[in-house]
Chain A
Amino acid sequence: MKKQEDSEKIIIHLNNVEKHYFMGDNVVKAVDGISIDIKRGDFVAVMGPSGSGKSTAMNLIGSLDMPTRGHIFLDKEDISLLDESELAQVRGKNIGFIFQQFNLISTLTVRENVILPMTLQGIPEYEREEKADKILNRLDLRDREDHYPNQISGGQQQRVAIARALANDPEVILADEPTGNLDTKTGLKVMDFLTDLNKEGRTIVFVTHSPELAKKYAHTIYWLKDGKIEKITKERKKE
Chain B
Amino acid sequence: MNYFVLAYRNLKKKGIRSYLTLLGICIGILAIVSLITLGNGLKTAVSSQFGVSSTELISVQASGGNFGPPGTDTVNPLTSYDLEEIKKLSSVKEAVERIIVSGKLEFNNKVIFGYAMNIPDGDDRDFVYNQIEAKTTTGRLLKDGDSGKVFLGYNFYVDKVGIGKPILPGNTVKIQDKSFEVVGILEKKGSFIMDNMAFMNEKDLQSLFNHGDEFNLIAVLPTDKENMERAKEDIEKLLRRIRNVKIGSEDFTVSTPEASLAQVNSILNAIQIFVILVASISIFIGAIGIINTMTTSVLERKKEIGIMKAIGATNNQIFMQFFVESGILGLIGGGIGIFLGVLIGYFGVVGINDFIGGDILPKINFFLIFFSLLGSFLIGAIAGILPAMKAAKQNPVEALRG
Cα distance, A89 to B316, chains bound together (Å)? 11
Residues from chain A with a CB closer than 8 A to the CB of B315 are 84-85, 88
Given A116-B1, A119-B2: A103 in contact with B312 (beta carbons within 8 A) = no
Residues from chain A with a CB closer than 8 A to the CB of B396 are 64-65
Q: Mark B281-309, 1 if CB is under 8 A from A, else 0.
A: 00000000000000000000001101111
Partner of A64, one of B6, B9, B397: B397
Q: Mark B1-15, 1 if CB is under 8 A from A, else 0.
A: 110011001101100
Task: Report yes or no: B397 in contact with A88, Cβ–Cβ below 8 A.
Answer: no
- Complex: chain B residue closest to A107, CB-CB: B9
Q: Mark A137-161, 1 if CB is under 8 A from B, else 0.
A: 0000000000000000000000000
Cα distance, A85 to B6, chains bound together (Å)? 20
Nearest CB on B from A163, distance (A): 12
Given A64-B397, A107-B9, A108-B9: A91 in contact with B312 (beta carbons within 8 A) = yes
Task: Report yes or no: B10 in contact with A117, Cβ–Cβ below 8 A.
Answer: no
Cα distance, A99 to B311, chains bound together (Å)? 11
Q: A92 at interface (Cβ–Cβ under 8 A)?
A: yes
Partner of B1, one of A88, A103, A112, A168: A112
Q: Mark A58-69, 1 if CB is under 8 A from B, else 0.
A: 010010110000
A85, A103, A112, A167: most-surrounded residue (chain B CB, <10 A) = A103
A85, A88, A119: most-surrounded residue (chain B CB, <10 A) = A88
Q: A115 at interface (Cβ–Cβ under 8 A)?
A: yes
Given A59-B397, A88-B309: A103 in contact with B303 (beta carbons within 8 A) = yes
Task: Report yes or no: B9 in contact with A103, Cβ–Cβ below 8 A.
Answer: no
- Complex: chain A residue closest to B11, CB-CB: A107
Residues from chain B with a CB closer than 8 A to the CB of A105 are 304, 307-308
Task: Report yes or no: B397 in contact with A92, Cβ–Cβ below 8 A.
Answer: no
Q: A39 at interface (Cβ–Cβ under 8 A)?
A: no
- Complex: chain A residue closest to B313, CB-CB: A120
Q: A50 at interface (Cβ–Cβ under 8 A)?
A: no
Q: B168 at interface (Cβ–Cβ under 8 A)?
A: no
Cα distance, A104 to B308, chains bound together (Å)? 9
Given A65-B397, A103-B400, A119-B2: A97 in contact with B9 (beta carbons within 8 A) = no
Task: Report yes or no: B313 in contact with A88, Cβ–Cβ below 8 A.
Answer: yes
Task: Report yes or no: B312 in contact with A107, Cβ–Cβ below 8 A.
Answer: no
Q: Mark A113-137, 1 if CB is under 8 A from B, else 0.
A: 0011101110000000000000000
- Complex: chain B residue closest to A115, CB-CB: B1
Cα distance, A201 to B400, chains bound together (Å)? 29
Given A107-B9, A107-B13: A116 in contact with B397 (beta carbons within 8 A) = no
Residues from chain A with a CB closer than 8 A to the CB of B12 are 107
Task: Report yes or no: B312 in contact with A121, Cβ–Cβ below 8 A.
Answer: yes
Task: Report yes or no: A93 in contact with B1, Cβ–Cβ below 8 A.
Answer: no
Q: A202 at interface (Cβ–Cβ under 8 A)?
A: no
Task: Report yes or no: B303 in contact with A89, Cβ–Cβ below 8 A.
Answer: no
Residues from chain A with a CB closer than 8 A to the CB of B400 are 64, 99, 103
Task: Report yes or no: A84 in contact with B312, Cβ–Cβ below 8 A.
Answer: no
- Complex: chain B residue closest to A119, CB-CB: B1
| CB pairs A–B below 8 angstroms (12 shown) | A65-B397, A84-B315, A85-B315, A91-B309, A92-B311, A92-B312, A92-B313, A105-B307, A106-B304, A107-B10, A120-B308, A120-B312
| Known contacts A64-B400, A92-B312; 15 further A-B pairs (Cβ under 8 A) | A85-B314, A85-B316, A88-B314, A91-B310, A92-B313, A99-B400, A103-B310, A103-B400, A105-B304, A107-B9, A108-B9, A115-B1, A119-B1, A120-B312, A168-B312
